A = this chain, B = another copy of it.
């Protein structure tokens, strides 16, 4: 059925446009009788308000922007689920914008958001992002921003993160306890908050256990899976080849496993692997993967909740809303000391 606008609806009901609008918003100015009449006729004639007219007048779009590096990643897709659940509760829509890990893309997107296409932004920065002017400008233009996972420390706003440092420390410590003494760390960025904190946690653990950190064991991966595979393979070919790997992001899982297969290294006998990952399939990998599982859904939810608080109360101070939600180390086969019924190739060196 053809859709009408408020003017036609007013005409049909022989009421003014303003009365219709008020009736549909349940205003106290309008009698119950009229409200019912309006609502019934609106439903009958298939009236759906034009959101742009409302947004223009009301200065709010009922959209929030979610700016993330990519969507084909368990962490981000679970976070989206969390965000969407809160958005829905608040009658909001979710605009997903992908930076594809490009700083330029991120700048372009945030610039556009200054036009008020969205009322607020949930942001997980690209791995190229090291400056934050574009974010501060958005905020200074009145669009609240809440970071989640990948933050810019110098921006004064709420940040929902997980305990990157501690969990990376735990992951590394776990590898050490399992007998690794040459542990590699796979990062994805020199500037990215999470990558650095995870690196620091790793280094702290090495230091604590008196293991000398080796520059050659710290690998900076790229955005390309194929290339990462080659880089990891090269890592495994070097003279002092590692017997443990901490992979700081999920997308490195497949290249790590494949590189090991190609190098005929058995996990966990020859090399043990732990990965920051939310892959549902971690438990059915060959071998099952020990992971640092991030609270992706909760992080999305918390970030969105905070954003909506800021949108509701004008004087809400986002600086005080930051939250750290702990990740969990889930120990599985890829770091076990010896696989049942299988020969042990690597000797535990510590413990």
Chain A 256-275 interface 0/1 with B at a Cβ cutoff of 8 Å (1 = within): 01100100000000000000
CB-defined A-B contacts under 8 Å, sample of 21: A1-B140, A2-B141, A46-B114, A48-B111, A48-B112, A48-B114, A48-B115, A50-B56, A50-B116, A52-B52, A52-B56, A52-B61, A63-B95, A71-B71, A71-B77, A72-B80, A95-B96, A257-B284, A261-B284, A281-B281, A284-B286
Please report A residues at the B interface, Cβ cutoff 8 Å: 1-3, 46, 48-53, 55-56, 61, 63, 70-74, 77-78, 80-81, 84, 93-98, 111-112, 114-117, 137, 140-141, 225, 253-254, 257-258, 261, 279-281, 283-288
Do A51 and B140 form a contact, CB below 8 Å, given A72-B77, A280-B254, A284-B254? no
A278: nearest residue on chain B (CB-CB)?
A: B72
Chain B positions within 8 Å of A253 at CB level: 281, 284
Q: Are B116 and A51 in contact (CB under 8 A)?
A: yes
Set B80, B280, B283, B285: member contacting A71, Cβ < 8 A? B80
Known: A2-B141, A3-B114, A284-B286. A78 touches B84 (CB 8 A): no
* Copies of the protein in its oligomer: 2
C-alpha spacing A48/B134, complex, angstroms: 14
Instruction: Chain B residues near A55: list those with CB within 8 A.
Output: 52
The smallest beta-carbon distance between A161 and chain B, in angstroms, is 21
Question: When chains A and B are docked, how far (Å) is the Cα of A53 from the Cα of B283?
Answer: 51
Q: A70-B81, A93-B97 are in contact. List 6 more A-B contacts (CB 8 A).
A: A50-B56, A52-B52, A52-B56, A93-B95, A258-B284, A286-B286
**Hey, which chain B residues are within 8 Å of A46, CB to CB?**
114, 137
Q: Separation in Å of the A294 CB from the closest CB of chain B?
A: 14
Is the beta-carbon distance between B95 and A94 smaller than 8 angstroms?
yes
User: In the assembled complex, which residues on chain B have CB atoms less than 8 Å from the CB atom of A280?
Assistant: 225, 254
Give bound CA distance, A277 to B314, whole Å: 46
A98→B48 CA distance, assembly (Å): 20
- What is the bound-complex CA distance between A287 and B286, given in angstroms? 7
The residue of chain B having its C-beta at the shortest distance from the C-beta of A61 within the complex is: B52
Residues of B within 8 Å of A284, CB to CB, are 253-254, 257-258, 261, 285-286
> When chains A and B are docked, how far (Å) is the Cα of A281 from the Cα of B275?
14
Q: From residue A113, how far is it (CB to closest CB) to chain B in Å?
A: 8
Question: Inside 8 A of A70's CB, which chain B residues have their CB?
Answer: 81
The complex places the Cα of A1 from the Cα of B138 at a distance, in Å, of 9
Residue of B nearest to A84 (CB): B98
Q: Is the CB of B61 within 8 A of A1?
A: no
A72: B residues at CB distance < 8 A: 74, 77-78, 80-81
A55, A111, A258: most-surrounded residue (chain B CB, <10 A): A55
Give the interface centre of A61, A140, A261, A280 by most chain B CB atoms within 10 Å. Answer: A280
For residue A245, give the distance in angstroms from its CB to the closest CB of chain B. 14
